[in-house]
Structure formats: structure tokens, C-alpha cells
Structure 1
Amino acid sequence: MSLPQHISIFCSQSKLPMRVFTTCFVVFVMTLFSSCTVLQYRKTDKEMLQTFQKNDVQTSFVYHQVDSLNFKVRAQKVSKDGNTYNIIFIHGAPSSLVAWQAFLLDEELASRANLYAVDRPGYGYTSFGKALPSIEQQAIVINGLLEELNLKNMVVVGSSYGGPIAARIAVINKNVDGVIMISAAIDPSIEKDIWASRFTRWKLTRWIVPTGYRVAGDEKKVHAAELQKIEKDWPQVTVPIAHFHGDADDIVPVENLVYTDSAFAKARTKTFPDVGHELAWKNPEIMKDEILSFLKELSKSKE
């Protein structure tokens, strides 16, 4: 089906005048052209090192070779001698490890655990632009990095699309002590079809969409099906699960908390009033406190 046909059908279904939609579409295209670089959500190692040096924080980057897929997974590390726990941060879509910058720069978090932020396949500097829509494969790829680093006592934190990946890693890696999901899209039955993501799929519009958004669109297209493939294994997750969600989230429904409560043996859920999907990014201090509290609870359970 051509783009004009798509537009006509959309306008007739939504009762939106063709001229209004056309104007909006032109503005949309112009915005994309003006922001293609900005909306890639990624920074080079050099750029990140400069930021951390200005904040007097030591950091480094790790690259894990994935021979079967012919790419490398990039991860950023902030660590201190003597830390027992390792926190792994997995971003949503579209995004990159840059999204976790405030967390890796946090002195209190860094004093309690070694911090790692990962570029998921298709984003940042991990096979940028090449989508890997399988949640299972993404978990396997990221777990390969964790195994190469020989990490123990891990808490895996996943935001939005990264939430189920974090939980899946707990299925395949027995060194995971706990999982934190933030605004996670994990219930396949209520996955929302965001109509704007269709621009990433149409041949006539896909080329003008920033690369990160194209990857996100490819993931979104099969997300519900991918969640269905792995949900039978959630009973295998016996470590504590914490799921935090804003009740004003208009991208990932807060009802995902109900699913988490029923799917995992040791689930704890918490709703934040009047907060949208940006829970982790607009409220880093709140999430930092929740992570520290989670670590404290894990430490007590091991005493």
C-alpha cells in the first residue's frame, strides 16, 4: 500500500481533514530532518569520557565481540575496589547507554556497587541501525558480555523495553540476585500499537526517520509476540523483582504492574502518582533511592 493510500485511510478513520494531516506530516518531516543527529541518542566514548572527567568520575568502556552476529556490544563501566554488587543498566527504545548517565555519575550509587550501562543491539555503538527484535537473542547477547566480565552478585535494571530483557537475563544467568524494572512493557496482552511508529515501517517514510526510531519501530512491531514466546519461563525467576511505574504513563500502561505481580514469585510493585513514562529520566533521584533500598534489602536477605 502506498503512502497516499495510508494517509487517506488514516484520515477517513480518524475523521481528520486531509489538509490538516498533510500539514502535520510536513512539519513532522521537517522536524526529523532538523533533528536526525540529535535523536540518535548516542555519544562516542570520547564525548562520554570528557563528561565524566569534568565530574571527576573515573569511567571506562568495554566491547564484547559477538561472532555469530558479527558485531560488538558496548558497555560503560564505573567501578570501585571493594564493591560487592554489580548493577547492570539496560535502556529502552529509542535510547542508548547515555540515558543512564545520571546514575553512573551518582557518587552514592558508585560507592555501593559497580555500575555498568549497556548499548542494546541496534542502538548507541552496538550494531547501530541493525535491529535485533528478539528479546531472547538480546538477552543472550548482553549475557555474553556479563559472562565475559565474570560478574557475580548482579542486579539488572531495565527501563521500558529493557524491562523484560532484564527479567530474561535472570532466567539464563544464575548470578543475578535481583531485577528492577522501570516503566516496563512486559504484558503482551496490553501492548499498545503507537500509530506514529508506522512511519518507521512505510517504505516512503522509513528513510527520513532517525535511525534509532527505525530500530525502535522494528522492535515494537513484534514486541507482543516476543513477550509471548518467553512468558512461560517467568516462574523460573526466583530472585526478587521490583517494578516501578508512573500512573500517568501514556506509552506503556501502568496495568503492566498487575502482570508482574502475577507472573513472578517474588514481585514487588510500586506506583508513582502523576508521573509518565519518563520515570527514570525526570526522577533519577527517586529511582536512585529505590535502587539503594533494593540493594539494602538484598544485603539483609544474605545475612
Structure 2
Amino acid sequence: MKLLKKILKITGIFLFIILLVLYYLFSNFTAPKSDKEILKKFENSSITLVITYENFRGFEYRKLTIKKDTTLPTIVFVHGTIGSSTDFSKYMKDSLLLSKANMISYDRIGYNYQDKNSVQESIAFERDMLQSILQKLTPNKTILVGYSYGGPITLAIQQKVRKIILLAPAVYSEIEPMPWALNLYKWELTRWLVPSVWQEASKEKLSHKQDLQLFENNWKNSPNQIVSIHGTSDRIVPFENSTFLEDQFPKNQFELISIPDAGHGFIWSKFDDIKQLLIHQLD
């Protein structure tokens, strides 16, 4: 019996240490990166990445810019929940993509490095913030790429741009999943276990369904050409979000591209496929 208790005690301590390590790795991996860490990602390339800090309605946010040729169009990436400007760093380093476009990515409020501000829980706010970035760009040379929660933000833009490309857009409230893990944030006793940036993501997720209802019946009013790229096995933002959009637009304005068996993380796991689709839209 004593031996069994000893084994159980050692096993419990071992499992606890493993959980602590996994928690640290998870928290560190998903946390927004510092300027130094971002620049390190680009240090072995010939690309000049410019990091600036901008202000919108009293909020400071970070913007990453790669501008190689003023005659080229500009891709503006909008990240999801959870996410950051570095979600698209692999695309921003790709030489073939950079031969065809300049690129901008930015941290939404609440997702900046060591951000003391909270998420705004408002598609309207995010739309207006994106609009402020677009003011410095030529509309007919601007392509918006919105991933996940970034999808409705780009789609809410009423200004005419060259094109809007949606990547697994979360645009339909009726099929908005609410993962059980959100309860860890909702319960005060367990909230401390949730890393700070995930607390911000939880706030945004919990309000997203209601916020979408203010917009989802008006997506069809967009003046832009829209392409939606979506994985058929996406459980975080179901594929039906894109078919919902497809039903709202005429065929000459909207194109749906499905990625068979791809999940929500396809912007990383299917990088080559997404890259080729972006290149096709730039040609």
C-alpha cells in the first residue's frame, strides 16, 4: 500500500509539472511578441520591415509595414480572435508574394504587446480603425485580407477597394460555436488560469454573436468583389459561414473557394495553398 501511495504521489507531481510546462508554453506561444522578437523573424531576409505605433481614438496600436514598390497593390491583413500582426509573418516574408504586393499587418486593440487596453468588442469600432489605416492607401490598389474575426471587420468596410479576401470568416451568428473552455473565463474561480490575452479573446468571443446580428443582414450591401476561402473541416468557424455569404451575393461579385479537409488553422497548415490563392487574386 505504501509503495502504491508513493507511486501515485510521484505520478501526481510529474503530471502537475507537465501541466505547468504545457501551460507556460501555451501562454508564451500565443502571447503577442515584442518588437525585438518580430524583427528577429525577419533578420535573415533582405526584407525591410518597418514597425510603427499609430493612434486611433486615443488607443495606441502597432503596425507592421513592408513597402517595396509604390506601383504595387497593398495587402492589409486583419487578424482574428485570438491573434496578432505576426499571424501573417510567413506571408510577409515570402519573396514571390512581395514581388506582387506591399503588405501591412497590425495588432487590434487588446492584442498589442503588453497591451493595457481591453478589446473593444465592436465590429463597428474595428471597421472604423481599419478605415483610418486605409486613408493613407490608394483604394483601387488595396486588397483587404480578413482572417476569422477579421473577416467581418473587412467585410464591414463600405469603401470601394480592389478586393476583399476572407479567410474562414466568422460572419453568421446562428452557427457561432461557444467552446466549453470559455467557461474557464466566465467562472471567476478559474479565470486566473486563463492567460491575459486569452481573457481578451474570451470577451470578444462572448460578445461576437450578438454584435454580428447588427451586421449580418447587410453584408450584401458591400460594394466590393469578395473571395471567401474556407476549410470544409473547420470546427472553430464552420464552413457554413461562407455558404451563408454565398447566398447573399450575386455570382459575379462573390467567389467561394473551399479547402477540402482543412481546419481553422489553415493559414498556417495550408500555407502553400493559401499563398497560391493570394497570388492568383493579385494577378
- TM bucket, shorter chain: 0.7 to 0.9
Aligned mates of 1:279, 1:107 — CA distance in 2: 20
Change in 2 beyond 3 A, CA 1:158/1:27: farther
Task: Give the conservation status (yes or no) of the 8 Å contact 2:32–2:114.
Answer: no
Aligned mates of 1:102, 1:74 — CA distance in 2: 18
Aligned mates of 1:258, 1:37 — CA distance in 2: 34
Aligned mates of 1:126, 1:117 — CA distance in 2: 18
Q: Which residue of 2 aligns with 1:114?
A: 102
Q: CA deviation at 1:230?
A: 1.4
Letter matched to residue 47 of structure 1: E
Letter matched to residue 175 of structure 2: I
Q: Which residue of 2 aligns with 1:4?
A: none
Task: Give the conservation status (yes or no) of the 8 Å contact 1:87–1:113.
Answer: yes
Q: CA deviation at 1:117?
A: 0.8
Tell me which of 131, 134, 138 is aligned to 1:143: 131
Aligned mates of 1:207, 1:276 — CA distance in 2: 29
Change in 2 beyond 3 A, CA 1:224/1:28: farther
Q: Which residue of 1 aligns with 2:191?
A: 206
Letter matched to residue 87 of structure 1: I
Aligned mates of 2:116, 2:71 — CA distance in 1: 32
Q: Which residue of 2 aligns with 1:257?
A: 242
- Supply the RMSD in Å over aligned alpha carbons: 2.2
Q: Which residue of 1 aligns with 2:73?
A: 85
Change in 2 beyond 3 A, CA 1:31/1:130: farther
How high is the TM-score relative to the length of structure 1?
A: 0.81
Tell me which of 267, 271, 280 is aligned to 1:284: 271
Task: Give the conservation status (yes or no) of the 8 Å contact 2:177–2:237.
Answer: yes
Identify, as 1 or 2, the structure richer in helix.
1
Identity among equivalent pairs (%)? 30
Tell me which of 93, 118, 131 is aligned to 2:119: 131
Aligned mates of 1:104, 1:128 — CA distance in 2: 27
Aligned mates of 1:199, 1:31 — CA distance in 2: 19
Aligned mates of 1:209, 1:219 — CA distance in 2: 14
Aligned mates of 1:260, 1:140 — CA distance in 2: 22
How high is the TM-score relative to the length of structure 2?
A: 0.86
What SS does the corresponding residue of 2:47 show, helix, strand or coil? coil
Q: Which residue of 2 aligns with 1:293?
A: 280
* Structure 2 residue 204 is the aligned partner of structure 1 residue 219: yes
Tell me which of 49, 57, 71 is aligned to 2:59: 71
Tell me which of 215, 220, 242 is aligned to 1:235: 220
Alignment of 1:26-41 (within 5 A): 30=20, 33-35=23-25, 37-41=27-31
Letter matched to residue 136 of structure 1: A
* Structure 2 residue 42 is the aligned partner of structure 1 residue 52: yes
Aligned mates of 1:44, 1:27 — CA distance in 2: 27
- When the two structures are aligned, how many residues end up with a matched partner? 266
What SS does the corresponding residue of 2:162 show, helix, strand or coil? strand
Q: Which residue of 1 aligns with 2:170?
A: 185
Task: Give the conservation status (yes or no) of the 8 Å contact 2:232–2:263.
Answer: yes
* Structure 2 residue 86 is the aligned partner of structure 1 residue 98: yes
Letter matched to residue 84 of structure 1: L
Q: CA deviation at 1:120?
A: 1.3
Aligned mates of 2:18, 2:263 — CA distance in 1: 23
Change in 2 beyond 3 A, CA 1:32/1:144: farther
Aligned mates of 2:237, 2:259 — CA distance in 1: 14
Aligned mates of 1:71, 1:189 — CA distance in 2: 32
Change in 2 beyond 3 A, CA 1:126/1:167: farther
Aligned mates of 2:108, 2:17 — CA distance in 1: 30
Gaps of 5+ in 1: 1-25, 297-303
Q: Which residue of 2 aligns with 1:17?
A: none
